[in-house]
Structure 1
Amino acid sequence: MSAPLLSTRDLTVQFEGLPVLQNVSLDIARGEIVTVVGPNGSGKSTLLKALLGTVPPESGSVQRAPAISIGYVPQKLALDASLPISVARFLSLPKRQSAARIAAQLDRVGVAGLQSHPMQGLSGGQFQRVLLARALLMSPDLLILDEATQGLDQPGVARFYRLIEEVRRDMGCAVLMVSHDLHVVMSASDRVICLNGHVCCQGTPHVVRSAPEYRALFGLGTEGTLALYQHEHDHAHDAEGTHIHGPDCAHAKATLEHSHD
């Protein structure tokens, strides 16, 4: 078995003496998709920052594979409206990229031909796809996404997640993703980590959705609607990315309608 791309052991992070993460241990393997879920304030974004090395741990460790390349898509990015910048120029910061590479990644993420458009004039969905293209220009071994679908409508969210599945399949990179919406756990997630300052539980979506720790954390009763589900490829989607047939579709639809953060 190959060594993990990234690992933490007993990772603890504090802000102003208060613990945000305590004794978090996890491994990210090559090529797998891992989704982190948890309520607001559970330390999800702090975990990603610690993994990226922008937040120092109080104790514990983060180990990264030698020469690992990490692509990062932030939760949001504010650009100065008084300093307009084209998509192509943005994608060449901080490292200059060739016109051919820029065109190829914009095409990959579904926004071909936007090179000359100003970043400030993009729609929310276009902006997030450009951020993803920028991360992919790193040829990442690991792609990290921090609530990258924030601000998108449900059809846009569904399209973005399908795109991430395609990226993993085509590029072979691992994906570590934070989601604030329980009903949008990625269809191809190999593993889900439920976080609330510490790792409450982890495993496949089917395992985690039945875990008492998960159900207690999100206020789900023993017979309540499950907000976490795994996308099965035995159905079709309509134009807005919604299930329209298959044995689990009624359940998935109820989940979408009745699940809330």
Structure 2
Amino acid sequence: MSLITAEKLTLSQGGKTVLRNVDFCIDRGEIVTLVGPNGSGKSTLVKGLIGALTPTSGSVIRARGISIGYVPQTLQLDGFLPLTAARFLSLPQRQNSADIEAALSEAGVPGLARSQLRALSGGQFQRVLLARALLLKPDILILDEATQGLDQPGAAAFYRQIADVRERLNCAVLMVSHDLHVVMAASDRVMCLNGHVCCEGTPDVVQDAPEYRALFGTGTQGAFALYRHQHDHDHDHA
């Protein structure tokens, strides 16, 4: 059984229909990415899938006892608040230091437990947010524009970390992203939204789909190929 399945899902916000008739499923170990222009319904679909938004019509079925880890775009914290990474990870539920260290290591930032949040770089803070999600031992990890504000190398490194996490934990990963050239190469399957499902399939299939090209043009192709070559090179030499 899939971890989350949606059938003929229609979602509305503020009295306006945002998404119509979406069929969706995600299985354990799979990386699925939602792409689409601003206002296309990507974050709305995530809300519907996790139960934060009630369907206008259609249905969402979540596997019994499913654990969902969520990594937001970013989190605005009071810059003057004296808060270490370990203390932050123990809110609202206290975590033991061994679990905190393990989650930070899993997220690619071992040894940051005693660091002040305000002293972290953007990339380090996003990995702390990832560690927070990993403490839930998630069956599915959801990243909503989680690399917003990171430069391209930082975003690429973050996505490689996500791929490593998927390998080790065998969790599913659902990503919402604008980093098309990077995220396409990191995905098993891509769903392109624009108020409905425009096209879906493997990255190669979606990239060649007329609906995708109508929305995004062909400008991402060169960067996509370059990243995929680099990714394959890194994998070959891992």
Q: TM-score, normalised by structure 2?
A: 0.91
Moved more, 31-40 or 14-23: 14-23
- The answer to whether the aligner puts 1:83 opposite 2:78 as a matched pair is no
What displacement does 1:159 show? 0.6
Q: Contact conserved, 1:206 with 1:229, CA < 8 A, in 2?
A: no
Residue 41 of structure 1 is matched in structure 2 by 39
- The answer to whether the aligner puts 1:154 opposite 2:152 as a matched pair is yes
Residue 10 of structure 1 is matched in structure 2 by 8
After superposition, residues 135-174 of structure 1 pair within 5 angstroms as 135-174=133-172
Q: Contact conserved, 2:144 with 2:175, CA < 8 A, in 1?
A: yes
1:93 maps to amino acid? L
C-alpha distance in structure 2 between counterparts of 1:234 and 1:59, whole Å: 42
1:226 maps to amino acid? Q
Q: Contact conserved, 2:83 with 2:117, CA < 8 A, in 1?
A: yes
Q: Contact conserved, 2:35 with 2:178, CA < 8 A, in 1?
A: yes
Q: Contact conserved, 1:13 with 1:22, CA < 8 A, in 2?
A: yes
C-alpha distance in structure 1 between counterparts of 2:160 and 2:22, whole Å: 29
C-alpha distance in structure 1 between counterparts of 2:222 and 2:190, whole Å: 13
- The answer to whether the aligner puts 1:226 opposite 2:221 as a matched pair is yes
Q: Contact conserved, 1:182 with 1:228, CA < 8 A, in 2?
A: no
Kindly provide the CA deviation profile for residues 46-81 of structure 1, in whole angstroms up to 9, marking residues without a partner as x.
111121222222221111000001100011211123
1:118 pairs with 111, 116, 139, which one?
116
Structure with greater proportional helix content: 2
2:77 maps to amino acid? L
Residue 128 of structure 2 is matched in structure 1 by 130
Residue 213 of structure 2 is matched in structure 1 by 215
Residue 221 of structure 2 aligns to a residue whose secondary structure is: coil
Q: TM-score, normalised by structure 1?
A: 0.83
What displacement does 1:17 show? 2.0
Residue 73 of structure 1 is matched in structure 2 by 71
Moved more, 121-130 or 178-187: 178-187
C-alpha distance in structure 2 between counterparts of 1:163 and 1:236, whole Å: 13
- Identify unmatched segments of 5+ residues in structure 2: none
What displacement does 1:82 show? 4.5
Alignment root-mean-square deviation, CA: 1.8
C-alpha distance in structure 2 between counterparts of 1:229 and 1:8, whole Å: 29
C-alpha distance in structure 2 between counterparts of 1:17 and 1:207, whole Å: 34
C-alpha distance in structure 2 between counterparts of 1:225 and 1:187, whole Å: 11
Q: Contact conserved, 1:147 with 1:180, CA < 8 A, in 2?
A: yes
Kindly provide the CA deviation profile for residues 92-146 of structure 1, in whole angstroms up to 9, marking residues without a partner as x.
1222211001011112222222112222221100110000000011111100000
Residue 168 of structure 1 aligns to a residue whose secondary structure is: helix
Residue 111 of structure 2 aligns to a residue whose secondary structure is: coil
C-alpha distance in structure 2 between counterparts of 1:15 and 1:125, whole Å: 32
C-alpha distance in structure 2 between counterparts of 1:80 and 1:61, whole Å: 39
- The answer to whether the aligner puts 1:94 opposite 2:89 as a matched pair is no
Moved more, 20-29 or 126-135: 20-29
Residue 26 of structure 1 aligns to a residue whose secondary structure is: strand
What displacement does 1:184 show? 1.6
- Identify unmatched segments of 5+ residues in structure 1: 238-261
What displacement does 1:22 show? 1.1
The count of residues paired between Structure 1 and Structure 2 equals: 232
Identity, % of aligned positions: 66
Residue 30 of structure 1 is matched in structure 2 by 28
C-alpha distance in structure 1 between counterparts of 2:78 and 2:122, whole Å: 16
Residue 61 of structure 1 is matched in structure 2 by 59
